[in-house]
Amino acid sequence: MQPVNLFYAIDIAAVGVCAVTATLEAGRREMDLFGVLVVGLVAGIGGGTVRDVLLGRLPVFWVYDPLYVGVAIGAAVLAFFASRRVRLPRDFFLLPDAVGLALFTVIGATVALSLGTSWVIAAMMGVITAVSGGIIRDILCNEIPLVFRSELYATASLAGGLLMIGLLHMGLPRREVSLIAMAAIFVIRVAAIRWHIHLPRFRGPD
C-alpha cells in the first residue's frame, strides 16, 4: 500500500470511528435519528474542518471528497440501529473515542507537515484535528467537553504528535512512524482511563 493510500484510509476510518462515538454519546441523550446524524456528521468532519480553515486549506477536505460525509452518516446510522439492539456499557464509547483520537492526531499533523508548517504548528494541528470534533459533539449533547474534564486526552494527542514529528525528523519511514504514534496515543489514553491519570485540576482555597 502506498503512503497516500494509507493516510487516506486512516482519514476515512477516523471519520467513521468518531461518528460512531458521537452516535453513542447522542444516544445517551435519547436523540432521534436526525439528531444523531447531525451530531455524528459534525463530530466526524468537525476537527478536520477546523484544521483546514486555520491552515487556509480551502475548500475544506470534505467538499472535494463527499465520501467523508457519506462515511460519517453511514457510520452514525449503523451505530444508531445497532445500539438499539445491543445494550452497551455506559462508557463504552471511550474506547472507540481513543482510537479516533489516535487516528485524527496523525492525520492532522501529517496534513500540516505536508503544507510546510513548523513542527510546533504541526503538533498543534494534530491536537486540534483530534479534539475539535469531540468538543463540538459534547456541546451539542449538552455536556462539558471530554477534553476539559477527563483523564489525559489532549495531552495524549500532543505526546503522540510530538513523537511522530521527532521520529520523522530522525529519518524513519513515515508509515511505520505513523503506526507507532497512533499506538502510543491509544495506549496513553487507555492507560489514563484505566488508572485515572489526569492533569492537576483547579481547586480554590478551602
Q: Domain spans of the chain?
A: 3-195
- How many whole angstroms separate alpha carbon 107 and alpha carbon 92? 24
Over residues 54-68, the pLDDT tens digits come to: 999 999 999 999 999
On whether the CB atoms of residues 153 and 197 are closer than 8 A, the answer is no
pTM for the whole thing? Answer: 0.93
Better pLDDT: 28 or 179: 179
Is pLDDT of 1 > 80? no
Over residues 79-100, the pLDDT tens digits come to: 999 888 887 776 778 889 999 9
Q: Map grid coordinates 501529517 to a residue.
A: 110
Is pLDDT of 15 > 70? yes
The predicted pLDDT at position 149 comes to 83
- How many whole angstroms separate alpha carbon 50 and alpha carbon 190? 26
Over residues 135-167, the pLDDT tens digits come to: 999 999 999 898 988 889 999 999 999 999 999
Angle, CA of 58, 61 and 67, to the nearest 5° = 150
DSSP codes, 38-56: HHHHHHHHHHHHHHHHHHT
Over residues 21-34, the pLDDT tens digits come to: 999 888 888 899 99
- The separation between the first and the last C-alpha atoms of the chain, rounded to the nearest angstrom, is 58
